[in-house]
Chain A
C-alpha cells in the first residue's frame, strides 16, 4: 500500500513538473523565435523590454491577459469557447508517453526515479493518435467562428492533417522496424552506443525516413512552409482569425508545444534520444537530450524565416505523390534489410 502511494505521489509530481515546464515553454520560445527572426532578417528583434528584450514575452503575456475576449455574435458560442482547449489538451496529453531520460537515483534514499510518466508498449501509436486529435480544435474553431476565412483554414488543416498523417505514420513504422519496439524507451535504448548506432545513420534508409518524418512533422504542426491553415496572404489569419486574448494564446501555446513534440520525437526516433554520440563526453544524458531538442527547435525557426510558403496543390502533391510512395518503397527496403 505504501509503495503504491509513493508511486502515485511521484507520478503526480512528474505530471506537475511536466505541466509547468510545458506551460512556461512559450515564454522563452517566443523570445527566441523573434530574436532568430530578427537576426536572420538582419535586424535586432525585440530590444526594449529588459536587456536584449528578454522581458518581452512577459509584456506580451500581460497584453494577452488584459485584452478583451471577443466572441462573434453569430458564432457557435460553446464550440468557439471549447476549441482552444481542444487543441491544447492533446498537445499536453502526448507528453504522458514521452521520456526525457532513462532514470536517476535519488541521493540518500537510493530510490530510482524514471524520467518518464509511463513506458507504454504502444507509445508510438499513442503519440501519433493523440497528437492527431489537436486538429479538432482547429476544425471546430474555424467552423464555430462563422467566418469564411476561418472555415477555409479549418478545411485546409483537416485535409493537410489527413494527408501528412499517413506519411508520418509510415515514418514511425520505419522507426519501429529499425528498433523492433513500439516503446520509446526501448527505441532509444536500441540506438545507444554512439553516433553510428542511431537510426538516422542506418544506411541507406535511415536518412530517408528522417527526411520523411521531418517534412511530415513540419506539415503536421502547421509550420512554414506548410502553414496554409493560417496563411495570412489569402486567409487573413486562417482558423484563428476571430480569436483574441487568452483563447488566441491557447492556440499559440498548443502550436509551440506541438513543435516541441515533433522535435522531441525526431530526437527520440532518429538521433538516439539522450545517447551521447561520442561516448566520451561526461555530460548528463538529460543535457544531451535537451541540447538535441533545442537544436531542432532552432532548425524549425530557421526554416520558418528562410523558406516561402507552398501553394495548396503543391502541398497535396508533396504529401500524396512524393512522401507516400517513397515511404512505401522504404518500408519494403527496410523490411528486406531487417530480415
Chain B
C-alpha cells in the first residue's frame, strides 16, 4: 500500500520537476514547482517525518514560492521568456544531465549504503526533533540563527537606497 503511494508521489514529483524546466512560461513553471514540492512533502510523510513535511509546505510552498510568483508577476517575464538562456549554451546541459543521471543510478543501485537509524515505523515527534536541535545540534542551530541575521542585514543593505 505504502509502495503504491510512494510510486504515485514520486512519479508526479519527477513529472512536475520535468515540467518546471520544460515549460516556456515562468508562471507555469512556478506552478509545476509548487506541485513538485507538495509531492516531496508527501514523500516525507511516508518517511514518517510529518513535521518536515508540513514545514516543507509551510516554508517552500507557502512562502518562498509566493515570493517567486510575486517577482515573476511584477517583472512581466512573458516576453522575456527564454531569451536569457541562449541556445548555444545548452549543449552543456544536454551533456551533463545524462552523465550525472547514469552516475547517480550506478551509485544508488550499487551496494554499500548502510541502513540508517533503527528504521522504526514510528513517526518522529516534534518533541524528539526539538530535543535534538537543542542538544546534539545546538551549535549549528545557533550559527544558523546568526547566519539568518546576517542575511537579513545584507538583504536590507542591498535594497535600501543609501546614496543619492
Contact = CB atoms under 8 A, between A and B. Distances in A.
Direct contact of A and B (CB under 8 A): yes
B50 A132 contact: no
A257 B147 CA distance: 39
A278 to B, nearest CB: 34
A65 to B, nearest CB: 28
B55 A79 contact: no
Contact of A122 (B51, B62, B73): B51
Nearest to A127: B54
B154 to A, nearest CB: 18
A139 B126 contact: no
A125 B58 contact: yes
Contacts, number: 68
A136 interface: yes
A140 B126 CA distance: 34
Given A79-B31, A133-B57, A121 B50 contact: yes
A155 B73 contact: yes
B54 A125 contact: yes
Contact of B54 (A76, A126, A151, A162): A126
Contacts of B74: 155
A161 B64 CA distance: 12
A182 interface: yes
Contact of A139 (B50, B51, B73): B73
B27 A182 contact: no
- Of B25, B51, B54, B57, most buried by chain A (CB within 10 Å of CB) is B54
B31 A129 contact: no
A154 B69 CA distance: 10
Interface residues of B, number: 23
A126 B66 CA distance: 18
A227 interface: no
Contacts of A228: none
Contacts of A215: none
A140 B69 CA distance: 9
B interface: dominant SS? helix
A122 B50 contact: yes
Contacts of A133: 57, 61-62
Contacts of A151: 73
A159 interface: yes
Interface string A112-141: 000000001110011011101101100110
Contact of B27 (A125, A143, A159, A162): A143
A242 interface: no
A136 B34 contact: yes
Contacts of B28: 79
A158 B51 contact: no
Given A79-B27, A121-B125, A139 B66 contact: yes
A126 B50 CA distance: 9
Nearest to A124: B54
Given A155-B73, A159-B70, 18 more contacts: A76-B25, A122-B54, A125-B55, A126-B50, A129-B54, A129-B55, A130-B57, A133-B61, A133-B62, A135-B62, A143-B27, A155-B74, A158-B67, A158-B69, A158-B73, A161-B66, A162-B67, A165-B62
Which A-B residue pairs are the 4 nearest by beta carbons? A129-B58, A132-B62, A129-B57, A125-B54
6 contacts: A128-B62, A129-B58, A133-B57, A151-B73, A159-B70, A162-B67
